[in-house]
Chain A
Amino acid sequence: GAVVSQHPSRVICKSGTSVKIECRSLDFQATTMFWYRQFPKKSLMLMATSNEGSKATYEQGVEKDKFLINHASLTLSTLTVTSAHPEDSSFYICSASKAGKLFFGSGTQLSVL
């Protein structure tokens, strides 16, 4: 199978700071990656679709200026949570598609103090 690496696995930051989360496809090229957010005891919610070389497509209700997505290469997409607030605390997961299958990163637990 394919491997998707997500880093960091856990981050704690102060309110008002920005946090960058990386998602890498280690052994395949991914023109499209997806970013999800998971609240405790809740489902995963698709935040945005990251497209290599173009702007990300955000789902309704997701603030694109707050959740900046950059997909500068075929193996890397980054999600930057800008001016983080405690309500942004959550588990963020990325995924990439290869041959019709989705491969997920191991997730990032963000805690904003």
Chain B
Amino acid sequence: AQSVTQPDIHITVSEGASLELRCNYSYGATPYLFWYVQSPGQGLQLLLKYFSGDTLVQGIKGFEAEFKRSQSSFNLRKPSVHWSDAAEYFCAVGSRGSNFGNEKLTFGTGTRLTIIP
């Protein structure tokens, strides 16, 4: 069975500082990997996804993530955070079936990001 671990429940960074959110997955083969962001009381917005090819993927809002097969990781990074980046971030893994892995997504427990001035 696939699973996702986000070891950091809450991270606080200063505005302008760099950010890395950790994500480790468990899956029998190469999975589809996603990062979503959720603002309070809102649905989820896709930041980026990895299906195949270049292991460094670029997303919206200046985010990027790197797929490392040897470490079963898909960490999210941003070189300089903005106050508007404060939100909950979810890593997710999808199985290589139909619909680009969107069916039966397994989410991590999320990392809450707080930005301080």
- Enumerate chain A interface residues (CB-CB to B < 8 A): 4, 6, 9, 32, 34, 41-46, 49, 93, 95, 97, 100-102, 104-107, 109
Contacts and interface: CB of A to CB of B under 8 A. Distances in A.
19 contacts: A4-B43, A9-B41, A34-B103, A34-B105, A41-B9, A43-B108, A43-B110, A44-B44, A44-B107, A46-B104, A46-B106, A93-B44, A97-B103, A100-B102, A101-B46, A102-B44, A102-B46, A104-B43, A107-B41
B70 interface: no
Nearest to B51: A100
Contact of B105 (A9, A46, A109): A46
Contacts of B9: 41
A44 B90 contact: yes
B86 to A, nearest CB: 16
Given A44-B90, A44-B107, A97 B99 contact: yes
B102 A43 contact: no
Contacts of B4: 43
A45 B106 CA distance: 7
Given A95-B44, A97-B99, 7 more contacts: A6-B43, A41-B110, A49-B103, A100-B99, A102-B102, A104-B44, A106-B43
